[in-house]
Amino acid sequence: MLAKAPKGTRDILPDEVYKWQYIENVISRLCENFGYKEIRIPVFEYTELFQRGVGETTDIVQKEMYTFLDKGGRSLTLRPEGTAGVVRSYIENGMASLVQPVKLYYNITAYRYENVQKGRYREFHQFGAEVFGSPSYLVDVEVISMVDLLFKRLGLNNIELNINSIGCPKCRKEYNLKLKEFLRPILNDLCQTCKDRYERNPLRILDCKEENCKKLIKNAPALLDNLCDECKEHFEGLRSGLDNLDIKYNIDKNIVRGLDYYTKTVFEFVSVNVGTQGTICGGGRYDGLVELCGGKPTPGIGFALGIERLLMEMESQGINIPEPEGVDIYVASLGEKATAFASKLVFQLRSEGINAEGDLIGRSLKAQMKYADKINATYVVVIGDNEIETNKAVLKNMKTGEQKDVSLDSILTRLKNK
């Protein structure tokens, strides 16, 4: 087992990590455009944070968390998502005193014990953003537009935006009574998880993934049709704001999202490509979460998307991620004196920002040339005792085959000007 990664984890090797770096750079630039600042949070938190923040009735808390006791007997959990940790940091670090709204983003690894399948791992990577301090639908529009623009910058097509409102505690209280009345006659036919949620949080039943439950609750009353006036106004503001930005959307009354903390706006970006259908990004408003976690009442909204899922979608759509530039020059050397000279030249080239390589394991000249070809070096220069004495060498362009006599002193200048 020493040489085998745990189930649900994977290594991201050098020949593919550039794809991740590309997406991370696009995300970083996008967040900069929108005024979001990066936050980095711990990999583990006290278990209670997720029980309270994510919700005890969610699948994440009930089935998927990696929880353990530390040496002091404290219950800790590897983060299954990012929002709860960011909320904890917002409270602990007094961000309520900052100019509002506070706009944050993160790139993290997260951990859930779930079935491993294509694009879904137990250790996965997640990009998310959170905004605290504004109850306005305008923030909802901004957050959604941010994701929409990200997909456009990555060249993705066939992605649909679905929106819904799940109201506030006021209208949800009245709705739960209607929902329980609908569910009561079919309660015994629902799965055990749904039965357990009936009293504690009947809304969670609408998010059940069991096919039988899906069929039984298909005609359940929709929360969107039972909103209070304030929530109706907020949802209409969201719609008008998206219309104003020409962002197309569908209203999906069945979206409730899988976490307990959502209020009002919930949304999903879904792929409609054959073979990769499914949610790529999800999010929503959580106006009571900061208070629930021990802070002052603070409105908030956010989203998260899985990088693995995003890369899978880009591959499915045939989007080529540009590979990084290779080695600019390989400095081959013959003899001890030449090797020392080559080592110094390589360091000088690197100091000027040029990608340079030299021999590190004592290869023959023939082997060095083969190696230069394998690492896709643009130029090769061979240095021996004669080249050092005359201060001249042959610079070969490996792409075109062109060769030029150059002075050793001019190599640095030539490559800097390329």
Split at pLDDT 50, 70, 90, the class of 390 is very high
Tens digits of per-residue pLDDT, 10-64?
Answer: 999 999 999 999 999 999 999 999 999 999 999 999 999 999 888 776 778 878 9
Query: What's the rounded mean pLDDT across residues 269-296?
Result: 90
Residues 90-147: tens digit of each pLDDT: 999 999 999 999 999 999 999 999 887 777 899 999 999 999 999 999 999 999 999 9
Give the model's pLDDT for residue 37.
98
Residue range 297-311: average pLDDT?
Answer: 95
Q: Is 118 helix (H, G, I), strand (E, B) or coil?
A: coil
Nearest to 56 by CA among 197, 157, 165, 161: 197
Average pLDDT, the chain: 92
330 vs 276, residue with greater confidence: 330
Query: Domain 329-416 sits in which CATH superfamily?
Result: Anticodon-binding domain (3.40.50.800)
Please report which confidence band the pLDDT of residue 418 belongs to, taking 50, 70 and 90 as the band edges: low
> Does the pLDDT at position 367 exceed 60?
yes
SS3 247: coil
Q: Which helix (H) or strand (E) holds 145?
A: helix 137-153
Mean pLDDT computed over 324-338: 92
Torsion of CA 238, 244, 249, 255, to 10 degrees: -10
pLDDT above 90 covers a percentage of the chain that reads 69
CA dist 82 and 79 (Å) reads 7
CA distances from 228 to 69, 169, 231, 289, 343 (A): 44, 10, 5, 20, 73
Strand ranges across the sheet with 75-78: 44-46, 75-78, 67-69
Assess whether pLDDT exceeds 60 at residue 258: no
Q: What is the pLDDT of residue 260?
A: 65
The backbone torsions φ and ψ at residue 98, rounded to the nearest 5 degrees and listed phi first, read -80, 165
C-beta neighbour count of 170 within 10 angstroms:
12
Task: Give me the pLDDT at residue 274, please.
Answer: 65
Domain ranges in the chain are 14-168+228-316, 329-416
> 122 or 218: whose pLDDT is higher?
122
Q: Which of 11, 67, 24 is nearest to 321 (CA)?
A: 24
Q: What per-residue confidence (pLDDT) applies to 411?
A: 84
CB 345 within 8 A of CB 408: yes
d(CA 141, CA 76): 35
Is the pLDDT higher at 172 or at 72? 72
259 or 324, greater pLDDT:
324
Read off φ and ψ for residue 271, nearest 5 degrees.
Answer: -80, 135
Rounded CA separation 238/413 (Å) = 56
Q: Using CA atoms, how far apart are residues 306 and 284, in angstroms rounded to an integer?
A: 16
Q: What is the pLDDT of residue 254?
A: 84
Kindly report, residue by residue over 371-382, the tens digit of the pLDDT.
999 999 999 999
E strands, 182-325, are 250-251, 263-271, 278-285, 300-306
The percent of residues in the chain predicted with pLDDT above 70, rounded, is 98
CA dist., res. 364 & res. 361, Å (int)? 10
Query: What's the whole-model pTM score?
Result: 0.89
Q: Domain 14-168+228-316, what architecture?
A: 2-Layer Sandwich (3.30)
Residue 30: what residue type? L
Task: State how far the alpha carbon of 155 is from the alpha carbons of 21, 125, 159, 340, 345, in Å.
Answer: 16, 20, 11, 47, 41
Residue 417 above 80 pLDDT? no
For residues 41 and 352, give the distance between their C-alpha atoms in angstroms, rounded to a whole number. 35
pLDDT at 194 over 80: yes
The two structure tokens encoding residue 54: 């994510």
